[in-house]
Amino acid sequence: MRVLLRLLAPVLGLALAAAGVLLAIEVVAAWTRLGTDQAGVIVPWPQWQAGLASTSWSEPLVAGIAIGTAVLGLVLMLVGAAARRSDIPVTAPRPEMTVTTSPRMLARLVGQRVRRGDDVAGADVTASKRRILVGAQGWGDLDGSAGKALRTSVEDTVSALLDDVPLARRPRVTVRLAQRRGVR
């Protein structure tokens, strides 16, 4: 949802800025003409005014636009509410303190620690409040005992790290193995 908000915010901002620029152009043009009834510079506002003057509040088009605007506003509010931060709570040293970390920082910490292992060729890590997913790459055939040893090594490394980090809730760790090809 945060990605959607990051896309929507500039689009809505640019649309509002464009509307503001159009309004400024039309106002300045109307002031400089000093009362002449010419059409707008960019927006044909006299024709729009005539069309709106003949439109009643009880017409279906007006109700449809009002309902569409309300639905769009509700959708935008729900998207904004659903895109809350996903901070991971950490046990605070004092009760009056609140300490959190971001999933990205936890993933970086786990990734750095896992990549230090001698048997790990590379690792991709994603983290959330509930789960840490480690994609570890190792050399050679990982179907047999080498894969089991690599999985155990990565799980032990992540477990030792999570013992050191005072997380309020310990996330579940999932390890996926992949074989690194090429020269070691």
Residue range 110-145, pLDDT digits in tens: 999 999 988 888 899 999 999 999 999 887 777 778
Mean per-residue pLDDT of the chain: 87
CA distance 117 to 154: 8
If asked whether residues 78 and 23 sit together in one domain, one would say yes
Residues 108 and 70 in one domain: no
CATH number for the domain spanning 126: value is: 3.30.70.1350
Assess if residue 91 is contained within a domain: no
In this structure, are 105 and 171 located in the same domain? yes
Q: Are residues 134 and 76 in the same domain?
A: no
On the question of pLDDT at 36 being above 70, the answer is: no
pLDDT at 61 over 70: yes
Q: Work out how many domains the chain is built from and give that number.
A: 2
Distance CA 106, CA 73 (A): 35
pLDDT score recorded for residue 34 = 60
Cβ-Cβ contacts under 8 Å for 177 (sequence gap 6 or more): 136, 137, 138, 142, 147, 150, 151
Q: How far apart are CA 148 and CA 15, in angstroms?
A: 56
User: Quick one: 6 and 78 in the same domain?
Assistant: yes
Domain for residue 93, yes or no? Answer: no
Q: Is residue 87 part of a domain?
A: no
pLDDT grade for 21, boundaries at 50, 70 and 90 = very high
SS3 call for 173: strand
Contacts of 126 (CB under 8 A, 6+ apart): 103, 107, 132, 133
* Other Cβ atoms closer than 10 A to 113: 19
Do residues 158 and 119 make contact, with C-beta atoms less than 8 angstroms apart? no
Q: Report how far residue 47's alpha carbon sits from residue 61's, in angstroms, rounded to the nearest whole number.
A: 18
pLDDT of residue 124: 94
- Residue 145 in any domain: the answer is yes
Please, which pLDDT band fits residue 157 given cuts at 50, 70 and 90?
very high
C-alpha 161: how far from chain center: 27
Which of 35-49, 64-78, 124-138, 139-153 has the weakest average pLDDT?
Answer: 35-49
The lowest-confidence range among 49-53, 129-133, 156-160 is 49-53
Domain assignment present for 164 = yes
Same domain, 39 and 107: no
Q: Which domain holds residue 56?
A: 2-82
Helix, strand, coil fractions of the chain, as percent rounded to 5: 55, 15, 30
* 101 phi/psi in degrees, rounded to 5: -135, 160
